[in-house]
Structure 1
Amino acid sequence: MSVRQRRFGIVLIAGSLALSGFSGTAQAAANPTATFSKVSDWGTGFTGQVVVRAGDSTPLNGWIVKFDLPAGTSIGSTWEADMTRVGDNYTFRNRSYNGSVAAGATTSFGFNGAGPGTPLNCTINGNPCDGSSGEPDAQAPTVPTGLAAGTTTSSTVPLSWNASSDNVSVIGYDIFQGSSTTPVATSPSTSFTVGGLQPTTTYSFRVRARDRAGNVSALSAPVSATTKETGNPGPGGKRKVGYFTQWGVYDRAYYIKNLDTSGSAAKLTHINYAFGNIDSAGRCFQANQLGQGDAWADYQRRFTGDLTVNGQADVYNQPLAGNLNQIKQLKAKYPHLKVNLSLGGWTWSKYFSNAALTAASRQAHVSSCLDMWIKGNLPQIGGEPQGGPGSAAGVFDGIDLDWEWPGSEGNVGNVVRPEDKQNFTALVQEWRRQLDAYGATTGKHHELTAFMPADPDKVVAGYEVSQLFTSFDFITLQGYDLHGGWETVTNNQSALRLPAGDPGPKPYSIEIAANAWTSRGAPANRIVLGVPFYSRGWTGVANVNNGLHQTATGPAPGRYEAGINDYKLIKPLVGSGYQLYRDANAGHAWLFNGSTFWTYDDPTEIARKTAWITSNGLGGAMIWSMDGDTANGELMTAVHQGIG
């Protein structure tokens, strides 16, 4: 193949690009050029146009354009030129009225073609259509100047630079990182966002230009940039992560709007929306007709104006409704908020082991969930107008994995395998890989977090701790449900330290839970401690020791579930037959009326916990769940005051 064929065949195959090179980097042309484009394309054929341009200083007194078409593509009718054909080679000559073209001016001709191909090996008056001489190009582009780094994230650095020049055309740029002699990426334009980087790390970059003949410039001057701390901590340096439950809009009548009216949205850095479901193969899905997921709450329910963030009622045929549309409105009002989609939870962790089992299942799981929740391609359920491609794009900033639990028991019926521990690591790595790959196309870092157990035995059984934090932005640690109504003895569900005389059945405390992670390599500043906005309770409790560590006949009656009540329902009990008790050393509080015992956190205990978070260098606080708070966000205010 000749130099001419190599150079111009590639350009013409691009169809809508100029024959003379990439239009964005074309140089001034001393020789005439010819540029092809498809004006229309209907699959089996097309209408083509060729623009003939005289050189910058030399007019044309007649022109002849020649090119080849690949087998299976042919030309029928033509206009503004006379055409002859020999095999697959076509020749077009000017007509009497359009042969004279002033310097720098243009004329054009067109034709109808059949088949999928586009022109190859173009010449105008015997020279290449890109305006070059046709001789081998040995001249390198000029060195790029002005290399600069923009605003970084925890894993990306955006770069930009000034365009290089070339005797023919620049087709792209190579990006180098550090002292490596191998490019980490290439870009057809004068900007690129480098992804997959580590947080709080300084990187150096250089770029060089490349032309169509393969000539490269020297490297540019370097630029350095430092990535940010992972997880986008708030102004006080701590993350404040609140779970919003999709089902809260039913019995609890707690809406996304309540995050705004309570003042909590202004204080949070993150919202975790719970939960997304996965099928038996481990793929994300939303199919109410099978009793799985909640498309109605997520994106189909139309809210009246009094229940929306912006005060405007939903209409029937809007592309997105439900909680997800309200999240978009909340993010518009509070641009600092990150919202992550939580997958699994206690009820929907059944098939996580299947998702993580093989490389193929991990790839399919991540791809399906990324497509549905991050790219926003929601399924349409039951003929409703909501859903469809891209309908929820931009709602979620990342994924929160809530597999309860790898390698050990969780809800009844969950699939558990001995290899879950290693497979969980591989699953997390696959999530990070696909999120970064997608982020490279959007210029955005997508967060990856996970909800982790307090039980040290579950940590040992399910997690290769030291290998996980190259993928996670941060984790949230279960700081509650340490005890509850499933046990026969009263205890505190969220004690900071192991209380004196603790009856078990195992020694649980927040201090023990955090140590189970940090002692195995988890960085403390990327552990976000879970705090409960609800209480656990027992009834039939012996009136001894203020009810603490006493046998009970069963869980206390709760409004929504036996043995549990929201903080806003427990707070009014103080002084209404119940006495408040605290253990300042262990860090917990409870209410007791002589027979019913409630363990809970109030603003005093929240202040104690946020002080412990700060003194131990943890990364913030997580709340389960926001619907348990009072209408004025009393507990969220305490969290905010404690860690900023």
Structure 2
Amino acid sequence: MRAARLRTRLAALAAAVLIAPVGLAASPAAADTTGITVTYVETSRWDSGYGGQLTIDNGSDAALDDWTIDLTLPEGATITSLWNATHTASGSTHTISTPSWGASVPAGGTYSIGWNGTHSGGETAPLDCSLNGGSCSGEPGTPDTEAPGTPGDPTVTGTTSGTVSLEWGAATDNVAVTGYEVLSGGEVVRAVTGTSATVTGLDPVTEYTFTVRAYDSSNNRGPESGPVTATTDEEGTGTPVDERRVAYFTQWGIYDRGYLVENLVSSGTAEKLTHINYAFGNINANGECFMANQLGQGDAWADYGRSFTADQSVDGVGDTWDQDLRGNFNQLRELKELYPDLKVNLSLGGWTWSENFSDAALTAESRQRMVSSCIDQYLRGNLPLFDGAGGPGAAEGVFDGIDLDWEWPASAGHEHNTVRPEDRENFTALVQEFRDQMNALEAETGRQYELTSFMPADPEKIDLGYELDKLMPNFDFITVQGYDYHGGWENTTNHQSNLLETPGDPGPDVYSTETTIQAYLDYGVSPGDMLLGVPFYSRGWTGVPAGPDGNGLFQTGTGPSGGTYEQGIDDWKVIKDLSGFDLYRDDASGTAWLYDGTTFWTYDDETSMTQKTDWAQANGLGGVMVWSVDGDDADGSLMTAIDSALAD
């Protein structure tokens, strides 16, 4: 066993991650900000990137309605994307102000602003700071000099070849604990707001010792906890990775795409999956799960009314007119008979069917009504009669759980969605209602039911919409959007699913899978509870010039490219057979694209699927999720690449 050591990039983090009291250069006050502090913490660091967070702590007696923070970053530090505030920059000077939707900080309350940026290996803490023209230190006033107490000793909850996950008991403070620092060898290696953390960037088969200390908004640090020692795993091994393989099967894929449940068998995909998420169930204006026979609102015919012929059926037997269950639901039941360990969950919502979630989650009564209707319809299998099918218990045993796909709590999604600031807390209450009612159903039936959720890539949406510390105990796992970073709605060609931030990325927002997953880790989510979402489709632009490198990347196009089913998007099985295109790769960023001199497609094939899966394994994630399986070819080539990488 090698002697314990942190990699160079973590050693460099030691100074940069420390909480900085950023009121270093007070300006003449334009407004009284006595008792209001602004604290900076570097939440994470990797190669050339980092995450930063400002916390406004309003210790005054009045709400802070309008605020502007001016700060200067040290040389080599930049901000590439920022959420929960309006941001402008001029050189190294940055102005951060109240967002368009307003963000009043109540008396005694706090408000956080987060960002991702780049660094050159040095400090990222602001050199100076002012709040509404006054000091970010909250002076004048009586300073808080009392440090927090000692946290509970940490315990190890999981290890991989490059990570160690920890949790500990909360500390107390005379005002409030703002967060915790994880130390190793006397150096700060992680800073989080909750009572759990995953330390990344470690060496395989190496022993590390960790302690934890708490800090408050006045930058007082308490004593360190007792130590805990952990040894990282060998390459290619480790916990808590359990190699879940989840694929979304779309209700509408049986139409133009002609992708049936039977194709999961004939392609060899079904035997490689642990879960299928059936997309989607809908919520009506009364906040109840429902089915209707019109495309765009629901499709009972596809779900359980359509008769499949013998050659279209999983079991090789055609449906009859008098079956109480036909359609996709019956085919899924037949699939589970072939693969008894396969779980099938019903996914609620999606991009266009999240319209009524905010209303349904608004009150205790509405949450109870929504959850009971969804459980009755899908888990108990009580389907409304349609064309001779359905009835009490018709779909019993088809579904093993519920997958929540509200896009997005407290954030803009589809243009017709209702969005409320209280969606964040209401989603937590809705999840608790699902868990409570599912627990009661488990006690009644003796079956176990899963509860999962699809989560966004955008750090701003994560922060606005999810109380992850309260949510995660009620989820079996979550799937994280690892795609749609860019697309034809923007003018400039870009990658939609890059693993790392790509040099030269023009934005407007700079995303990567690494920064997205790190955001969840910063909130204390265990890596083994997250599955990385990967796309079985491409996004494209047309009218794209070659640019200085001749490959069309980061060039302005005239609009989205044509697609078989939708402008600017097409399935991989279609894109892979295009002629006249050159294939380009950036293995360092985990990206590939196709370009023919005019049309540009951001692209994922077997090679990039292997790269993404390997990355997920190396970072201790709990598996891979696919949107959506009908984009694969008849041989299941992309799913085979994922399966092979997970098996290595």
Shift of 1:289: 5.8
| Cα 1:376–1:235 shift into 2, 3 Å | farther
Pair member with larger Rg: 1
Instruction: Name the counterpart of 2:264.
Output: 259
Q: CA deviation at 1:455?
A: 0.1
For residues 243-392 of structure 1, the aligned pairs below 5 Å read 243-288=248-293, 292-381=297-386, 384-392=387-395
Partners of 1:321 and 1:234 in 2: how far apart? 41
From 532, 550, 554, the equivalent of 2:555 is: 550
- The answer (yes or no) to whether the contact 2:538–2:569 under 8 Å persists in 1 is yes
1:590 maps to a residue whose letter is W
Spell out, residue by residue over 1:351-388, the C-alpha distance to the aligned partner (whole angstroms, 9 max, x if none): 1001110111100000000000110000113xx11011
- Map of 1:572 onto structure 2: 577
- The CA distance in 2 between the partners of 1:380 and 1:516, in whole Å, is 45
CA distances 1:2-32 after superposition (whole Å, capped 9, x unpaired): xxxxxxxxxxxxxxxxxxxxxxxxxxxxxxx
Which residue pairs with 1:599 in the alignment? 602
Distance in 1 (CA, whole Å) between partners of 2:296 and 2:266 is: 32
| Residues 469/236 of structure 1: CA separation in 2 closer, same or farther (3 Å cut) | closer
Provide Cα deviations, 1:60-97, integer angstroms capped at 9, x if missing partner. xxxxxxxxxxxxxxxxxxxxxxxxxxxxxxxxxxxxxx
Structure 2 residue 499 is matched with structure 1 residue 496: yes
- Contact conserved, 1:236 with 1:643, CA < 8 A, in 2? no
Contact 2:451–2:477 (8 Å) recurs in 1: yes
- Return the offset for 1:281: 2.3
State the partner residue of 1:409: 412
**TM-fit CA distance, 1:235:** 12
* Secondary structure of 1:608's aligned partner: helix
1:240 corresponds to = 245
In 2 relative to 1, CA 306–286 (structure 1 residues): closer, same or farther, beyond 3 Å?
A: same
Equivalent in the alignment of 2:483: 480
Match of 1:531 among 528, 534, 551: 534
Name the counterpart of 1:623. 626
Distance 1:402 1:235 in 2: 24
Q: CA deviation at 1:472?
A: 0.3
CA RMSD of aligned residues (A): 1.5
Cα 1:234–1:389, aligned 2, differ >3 Å: closer, same or farther? Answer: farther
Q: Is the 8 A contact 2:241 2:617 kept in 1?
A: no
Aligned to 1:70: none
- The answer as to 2:568 corresponding to 1:582 is no
| CA deviation string 1:474-533 (max 9, x = no partner) | 000000111001110000000000100001111111111111111011111010010001
Task: Look up the equivalent residue of 2:252 and give its one-letter code.
Answer: W
How many pairs align?
Answer: 408
Q: Give the 3-state SS of the residue equivalent to 2:385 in structure 1.
A: coil
For residues 263 and 345 of structure 1, what CA distance do their matches in structure 2 show? 27
- Ranges of 4+ aligned residues in structure 1 off by more than 6 Å: 233-236
TM superposition shift of 1:292: 2.0
SS at the partner of 2:391? coil
Shift of 1:334: 0.6
Mapped partners of 1:252, 1:538: distance in 2: 22
Aligned partners of 2:632 and 2:293: how far apart in 1?
29
Mapping of residues 395-406 of structure 1, within 5 Å: 395-406=398-409
Return the TM-score normalized by structure 1. 0.62
Q: Which residue of 1 aligns with 2:124?
A: none
Give distance in 2, aligned partners of 1:453 and 1:397: 23
Question: Does structure 2 retain, via aligned residues, the 8 Å contact 1:476–1:622?
Answer: yes
Structure 2 residue identity aligned to 1:250? Y
| Inter-partner Cα distance in structure 2 for 1:589 and 1:529 | 18
CA distance in 2, matches of 1:405, 1:235: 28
Residues of 1 paired with 2:297 and 2:590: CA distance? 39
Q: Indicate yes or no: 2:431 matched with 1:428.
A: yes
User: For residues 234 and 389 of structure 1, what CA distance do their matches in structure 2 show?
Assistant: 42
User: Highest relative contact order (Cα 8 Å, sep 6+), 1 or 2?
Assistant: 2
How far the C-alpha of 1:291 sits from its partner, in A, is 5.8
Q: Could you tell me which residue of structure 2 aligns to residue 560 of structure 1?
A: 565
Distance in 2 (alpha carbons) for counterparts of 1:339 and 1:246:
13
Q: Is the 8 A contact 1:349 1:404 kept in 2?
A: yes
Q: Is the 8 A contact 2:241 2:621 kept in 1?
A: no
Identify the match of residue 419 of structure 1 among 419, 422, 426. Answer: 422
Hey, what's the Cα distance between the residues in 1 that align with 2:450 and 2:242? 17
Taking only the aligned residue pairs, the percentage that are identical comes to: 61
Shift of 1:441: 1.1
Tell me the secondary structure at the aligned position of residue 307 of structure 2: coil
CA contact (8 A) 2:381 2:395 kept: yes
* Partner deviation per Cα, 1:297-335 (whole Å, 9 max, x = no partner): 000000111100001010001010000000000000011
Q: Is the 8 A contact 2:583 2:595 kept in 1?
A: yes
Letter in 2 for 1:351: N
AA aligned opposite 2:618 = S
On the 8 A contact 1:283/1:355 being kept in 2, the answer is yes
Could you say if the C-alpha distance between residues 479 and 289 of structure 1 is closer, same or farther in structure 2, counting changes exceeding 3 Å? Answer: closer
C-alpha change, 1:339 and 1:235, in structure 2 (3 Å) is: farther
One of 467, 470, 475 as aligned partner of 2:473: 470
Instruction: Note the alpha carbon deviations across 1:112-155, whole angstroms, 9 max, x for none.
Output: xxxxxxxxxxxxxxxxxxxxxxxxxxxxxxxxxxxxxxxxxxxx
SS at match of 1:271: strand
In the alignment, structure 1 residue 437 sits paired with structure 2 residue 440 = yes
Tell me, yes or no, if the aligned pair for 2:351 and 2:407 is still in contact at 8 Å: yes
Contact 2:591 2:608 in 1 (8 A): yes
Q: Would the alpha carbon gap of residues 577 and 517 (structure 1) be closer, same or farther in structure 2, given more than 3 Å must change?
A: same
Distance 1:262 1:235, change over 3 A: farther
Take 2:524 and 2:433, find their aligned partners in 1: how far apart are those partners? Answer: 21
What is the CA-CA distance between 1:275 and the residue it aligns to? 0.2
User: For the residues of structure 1 that align with 2:488 and 2:294, how far apart are their CA atoms?
Assistant: 33
Q: Is the 8 A contact 1:339 1:396 kept in 2?
A: yes
Closer/same/farther in 2, CA of residues 265 and 289 from structure 1, 3 Å limit: closer
| Residues 176-227 of structure 1, C-alpha deviations (whole Å, 9 max, x = no match) | xxxxxxxxxxxxxxxxxxxxxxxxxxxxxxxxxxxxxxxxxxxxxxxxxxxx
Contact 1:234/1:240 (CA < 8 Å) preserved in 2? no
User: What runs of 5+ residues in structure 1 fail to find an aligned partner?
Assistant: 1-232
Structure 2: how far apart are the matches of 1:626 and 1:519?
Answer: 31
C-alpha deviations, 1:253-294, integer Å up to 9, x for none? 000000000000000000000000001121101122696211
| Aligned counterparts of 1:289 and 1:527: Cα–Cα separation in 2 | 35
Alpha-carbon distance in 1 for matches of 2:590, 2:294: 46
User: In structure 2, what is the Cα distance between the partners aligned to 1:494 and 1:371?
Assistant: 37
TM-score of the two chains, using structure 2 as the length reference: 0.62
The one-letter code matched in structure 1 to 2:564 is R
- Cα distance between partner residues in 2 of 1:531 and 1:334: 24
In structure 2, the CA distance between the partners of 1:290 and 1:531, relative to structure 1 (3 Å rule), is closer
Cα deviations by residue, 1:583-640 (Å, 9 ceiling, x for unpaired): 1111100000001000111111011111110110001000000000010100000110
Q: Which amino acid aligns with 1:281?
A: N
Q: Secondary structure at the match of 2:576?
A: helix
